[in-house]
Amino acid sequence: MTSMMCKWGLALLLAGSAVFWVMEPPGSQDLAVGTWIAVIDSPDGMSVEVPLDVSADGQGYSGVMRVPERGDIPVEDLALRGGQLTFAWRPGVRLSCTLDRREDASYAGTCADALGNSGRIQMLPPGITPPTAPTADIGPLAPGDVMLGENEYVEFTVGALPLILSSPHGGALKPDSIPDRTRGYGVGDSDTQELTRLIASALQEVTGRGPHVVISRLHRSKLDPNRAVDEAANGNPDSEGAWREYHGFIESARQAVEDTWGRGLYLDIHGHGHRTPWVELGYGLMSSDLNGDSDLDPMSFTMRALADATSTPIAELVRGPASLGALLEQRGYRSVPSPGDPGPGSADYFNGGYSSVRHGSLQAGSIDSIQVEHPKRGVREPESDRQAYARVFAEVLVEYLEQHYGFELVER
């Protein structure tokens, strides 16, 4: 994708530091305390996401617009009245912004400079960031075409199936131009990029069509796309650009799947180093929930679209006889949750991360998601086992998509 440079964008890099105040007491209005994300689209098409910390005391709210690597930008004349938020700020030129509150508690509106150039601004409330990355235009591309992002850090293969795979932690590139991340975990998931490619190839063999595939080619010490941008990129502009492309490609793939199939499945492919050598399927559900007998929490479930569409209880979807865990278990790959291992017990377990929450149907949309964590021995290595697993996993996915979504992907 193109590099993101423009008048407003360059101006962002020249900012100073400040704090802003809202003179309305907390509680009388709905400006949530915490880190907001301001998504700013400039007149010439550039999009930036800037964290905005909002806090409150007895006098009112205060906040800091945190521009990565450059510090904080003052926000002036901020007022919140009747659901309308207004303020001005100077990332370079002075911009006046007016935003209206929306039903989902975000704000959206425009910012304009003195010359009348205006761009969109959206403020996303604290919590999970809804899909906002700029989507890549995949209109003219055909299934099988490959798009590379800036510096070839991110790779997107256009698919034809109602299935999206991503590989966030299998990258090998360690460019000197990007310093190692100092915040967040930097050890990659070995062989997971290779595994993701093998699963895609096996799906092509089984169905004659491929999935959409998004791969981060940067090593995790440089970028962790399965985190919010701050921890993901540690403020490095090149890593942030790759992060935006990575999630933008997934957005594009989701849109393509929705347009073609109406609904579908997104799988984030990982490798774990936990003691129990099972496949860990993360649906957003906590270990403690899975271990108990009580109803599983739909508010954290990353497959809400499927649950709503089929009225199937969540417990049956995640560990019933037709669950992904059951299908893998039947093929000899121990999995959790599954009929045999309904919960992780006291064992370590990954229940899903940033990407599966952001791009699944937890909040909205019709694309469900699962974070799939693979053990090393017998699955990721040696290579012969990796190939065998990829083939089985592809066959299991075809069966799963047919049983739960009604997609007939193989001619009979």
Where do contacts with Zn ion occur on this chain (CB under 5 A)? 169, 189, 270
- End-to-end, the C-alpha distance of the chain in Å comes to 40
Instruction: Considering the complex, state which of residue 189 and residue 230 has its C-beta at the smaller distance from Zn ion.
Output: 189
Residue 229 CB, shortest distance to Zn ion, in Å, is 17
H-type helices in 130-236, by residue range? 192-207, 229-233
Enter the tokens of residue 360. 């699944």
Residue 272 CB, shortest distance to Zn ion, in Å, is 7
Q: Which one-letter amino acid corresponds to residue 185?
A: Y
Closest CA to 149 of 55, 216, 220, 79: 216
Residue 81 CB, shortest distance to Zn ion, in Å, is 45
Instruction: Considering the complex, state which of residue 130 and residue 184 has its C-beta at the smaller distance from Zn ion.
Output: 184
Q: Which one-letter amino acid corresponds to residue 363?
A: Q
What are 98's strand-pairing partners? 86, 110
Instruction: Considering the complex, state which of residue 169 and residue 222 has its C-beta at the smaller distance from Zn ion.
Output: 169
Residue 189 CB, shortest distance to Zn ion, in Å, is 4
Instruction: Considering the complex, state which of residue 189 and residue 341 has its C-beta at the smaller distance from Zn ion.
Output: 189
Q: Residue 239: in which H helix or E strand, if any?
A: helix 237-261
Instruction: Considering the complex, state which of residue 74 and residue 225 has its C-beta at the smaller distance from Zn ion.
Output: 225
Packed helices 383-405 and 192-207: angle between N→C axes, nearest 10 degrees: 50
Residue 169 CB, shortest distance to Zn ion, in Å, is 4
Q: Any idea what DSSP says for residue 341?
A: -
Q: Are 62 and 34 in contact (CB under 8 A)?
A: no
Instruction: Considering the complex, state which of residue 96 and residue 190 has its C-beta at the smaller distance from Zn ion.
Output: 190
d(CA 204, CA 61): 54
d(CA 315, CA 67): 43
Q: Is 345 left (phi over 0), alpha (psi -120 to 50) or beta?
A: left
> CB nearest Zn ion: which residue?
270
Residue 384 CB, shortest distance to Zn ion, in Å, is 23
Residue 129 CB, shortest distance to Zn ion, in Å, is 19
Instruction: Considering the complex, state which of residue 169 and residue 319 has its C-beta at the smaller distance from Zn ion.
Output: 169
d(CA 243, CA 271): 20
